[in-house]
Amino acid sequence: MAVFTGAGVAIITPFHEDGSINYDKLDELIDYHCENGTDSIIICGTTGESATMTEEEHIDCIKHTIDYTRKRIPVIAGTGSNSTATAIQMSKEASEYGADGLLIVTPYYNKATQQGLFEHYKAVADEVTAPIIVYSVASRTGCNVEAATMARMVKEIDNIVGIKEASGNISQVADIMNLTDGNIDLYSGNDDQIVPLLSLGGKGVISVLANIAPKETHDICELFFKGDVKGSCALQLKALPLIHKLFCEVNPIPVKMAANLMGMEVGGLRMPLTELTKEHTEQLAQAMRDFGIQLEK
């Protein structure tokens, strides 16, 4: 059984003015998602600025989210690292604490070989009980999980159950589903490709868009699963202009601005990320209005 089906939010991490994590605001965001159709919370992913967290902050944030969510919806913990030892340590802590799943990004900067990727994921999987979703996003890590490697992992490692596929390469996704005989939980890692990946047997999306449009992102999946492919596709296409603006600068710069435009007061970004430019902010705000999102700023 899949860790979740539908729209999981790659949730932003709110900060105080001094840059510390704003846990009270994080609680508000968790409630917001539980009340608005989000099917899973993915904490401490790229969108959550995990790369700028200390290991202590990282684990504390995961544990806080598990505690506050109280099993209302599944919590998937981002525990990847370019150090296998660090990934093992964080994954063990999150798994033992009760994370419903682990999202583990490919090692970045090191650029492991395909054999290295297999051994990295196997080393982590051997130390945890929680199901693992591999996160393949070569545009950020410089490291692609090839279809044959993913199929090997799924077939040989029991608790590697899924992939967040953000390559943008539909042919590669099709190859993954073919080589695994569809026995893998496939999640779109790109908001502009939810419906295409669902059509190949996907279970849903791990979404940036869901931070500001949780119901609509959920509905894209729900409509598809109910057989209303036309309605699902129409909603996917309607969201495209907004999705494009959410990636007009590197994620999560635009989505954090979008949340603040809605009055969520999630704070700023940690360096080296910088605030969205004025021109892009105006374009983002217009795309949000066009999509039907009410702004408070």
Six-digit token string for 97: 């604490």
Say how far apart CA 38 and CA 219 lie, in whole Å. Answer: 10
Alpha carbon of 219 to those of 7, 19, 225: distances in Å?
8, 34, 10
Say how far apart CA 297 and CA 44 lie, in whole Å. Answer: 27
Burial pattern 171-193, b for ≥16 Cβ within 10 A else e, equals ebbbbbbebbeeebbbbbbbbbb
The beta strands (E) that lie in the chain are given as: 6-10, 40-43, 75-78, 101-105, 132-136, 160-165, 185-188, 204-207
DSSP letters of 234-297?
Answer: HHHHHHHHHHHHHTSSSTTHHHHHHHHHTT-------TT--PPPHHHHHHHHHHHHHHTPPP--
Widest distance between CA atoms in the chain: 51
Residue 206: CA count within 13 A, CB half-sphere: 37
Taking CB atoms within 8 Å and a gap of at least 24, the contacts of 59-65 are 59/90, 59/93, 59/94, 60/21, 61/13, 61/21, 61/26, 62/93, 62/94, 62/97, 62/99, 63/94, 63/97, 64/23, 64/26, 65/26, 65/30, 65/41
Active site residues: 135, 164
Amino acid present at 277: T
